[in-house]
Amino acid sequence: MPVTIKGTLYVKPTKPTKHVQIPLSSFDTLTPPNYAGIMFFFKNSLKKNNFMNIQKLIASLEDLLNDYYFLAGTLKSEPDGRSIIDCNDRGVQFIIAECSDITINQLENNKWEHAVIPYGLVPSQPRANKIYPILLKVQHTTFADGSVVLGILIHHQISDGIGFYAFFNNWGRKARLEQIDPPINDRSLLKTCGNSPTLNEDLIIKKLKSEKAQNIQKYPDISSLTTKIFHFSQNNLKSRACPKMLVSQLINGSPSTIALQVRKANTDVNNSRVRTIIDLVEQQTDKSLIRPNMLFYEKSVMINNVSKLQKHYLLDFGDGTPIKLRLNREADLNDGISMILYDEDGVDVYICLLAEILENLENDPEFKKFIVPSACTRSKI
């Protein structure tokens, strides 16, 4: 099922924009300099001609980039490790492709397993070269039945999940000739307060000329990691609602104590703590060496839930919303990382663990009560 690239162009704002440089905030610097990739599958149920029309998408994107002009720029690094957006109107890369030997019905009949989803539906990762990184790449791939996949690749330091889905929701509004919610581009809102706090448990500093961070255990062998997708239906979740907690908390704490700990963890992430982290980053000479203390590796897990964002920011360019969302097949998930994606009748959960641990999870009787067995993919990503 090869994906054939038919053409590549660069979409630019329709009006001249300010050729300025926007320094990313210290909070942006904490985000790893990688790309987030996702696939949106649009089904041409009515067999419409010009379904997800390319020219319409390009014209509306050109118009939208007048507000999101920084996405048409490139990213470069300063000597102190901070990244800067160079607003040079280089453009958003728009790739036109086709995959003529598969239909969206085939993917539905195979329960959307990754083994049957073609490679190459998301643009390839930009590689380091003399050209500074592109911030956004879009690929429009047409299937044999006229259905379309929009594969998106965006630089994670430029946008989080909220900004990502707000941008694409606005793109859909432009295509439907509706008003958008303009973005706020002022990153100075997250500027330093000038304090000199001491390094705390929120951050770690990598050793010079080394990828190993201080006081962090060795990474597991990447070949031993497996990512699988599990589907949890809405009805099943509602009928089996139960509290979630760490095993140690379950053994040693009462439900009321655990609830208070969860509440405290949420309320502790306040303006003061965020400003402290910003000041900590600012006082580092080489900001490229500082990272959030979020490495797990057999110790604990992190669950990243973007399902509510997707539910409220579903793309619609005038031909309906996508029927399925999938992460890039080359999604960069590490040990202990989980991603929750919205699905029409529940959620799809990506779970990355060591192979033997993931197998134990799959065979756990309590876990089996929640998942839909036929939707569990057993292929590595």
* DSSP string across 99-168: ETT--HHHHHHTTT-GGGSPTTSSPPPPPPSSSPPBSEEEEEEEETTS-EEEEEEEETTT--HHHHHHHH
Q: Are 279 and 287 in contact (CB under 8 A)?
A: no
Question: Rounded CA gap, 11 and 61, in Å?
Answer: 7
Domain ranges of the chain: 4-190, 222-305+333-369
222-305+333-369: what fold? Chloramphenicol Acetyltransferase (3.30.559)
CATH number of 4-190: 3.30.559.10
111-125: pLDDT as tens digits:
887 778 898 999 988
125-147: pLDDT as tens digits:
876 555 578 899 999 999 999 99
Say what the pTM is: 0.81
Q: How buried is residue 317: exposed, middle or buried, by Cβ count under 10 Å (0-12/13-18/19+)? A: buried
In the prediction, which pLDDT does 371 show?
Answer: 78
Do 4-190 and 222-305+333-369 show the same overall fold? yes
70-102: pLDDT as tens digits:
999 998 888 887 888 999 999 999 999 999 999
334-358: pLDDT as tens digits:
677 788 888 777 888 888 888 888 8
